[in-house]
Amino acid sequence: MKELIAEAAEVIHQSKMTLALTGAGISVESGIPDFRSAGGLWSKYDPEEYATIGAFREKPEKVWQMLRDMDEIVSNAKPNKAHIGLGELESMGLLQCIITQNVDNLHQAGGARNVIEYHGNSSTLSCLQCGRKYSAKDKQGEFPPRCECNAILKPDVVFFGEAIPGDALNRSFMLASTAQALMVVGTSAVVSPANTIPGIAKRNGAKIIEINKEETHLTHSITDIFIQGGAGEIISALVAEVKRRLGSCGNG
């Protein structure tokens, strides 16, 4: 693994445009199970019944039963070593943007500033009737949370049946087409449209660094460096190796 981490660190060190594509796997170490896993949300709630925008508009009180469970898990989660490590790479000028499928706000809590969120963010709520916005923290303990106009609030996450924000798509595609390195962390990259990002980057000459616990469809097709294991340990080691290289350059 040391050789792979050294190889990945060199790619990141040399790259002028590095991106990270992250999924549920990066937040598992923070105590947030993948929704699709055995202990995940979809094993308890049928997404067609609880996670579509139609279901929310029709029966928001019912949908908030699921959202309350999700909120209890997400609101207590803290950024792990992987989130913090990516934040460090950004502050060092070696990671230009994170494209995430997660809604947990842990990248920002870990220090990252330039984050494109495909599926929104659960830290804020909006009123579909009058457009007012609220912090989820300000509405904690209120079930279901209501707007001043008395309508039930919706978390600013993308439900099934809602479009991925156009700005997020356009920015991510533009960045992927100019990337020199792409880190794929904690995602199998099978869900559209995130699954298109590695291909776009690869076609434009980017090196693909994949960090996952298991092999994916990318591993033997477009991945250049596959480092198998937990994201926290690997990214911490990667950041330390990048710092070592920066230090030796400075001393040279």
d(CA 212, CA 26): 9
Active site residue 220: no
* Active-site residue, from 13, 83, 107, 119: 119
d(CA 40, CA 20): 24
User: First and final CA of the chain: distance in angstroms?
Assistant: 27
Type of residue found at 67: L
Contact 140, 75 (CB under 8 A): yes
Catalytic positions, please? 119
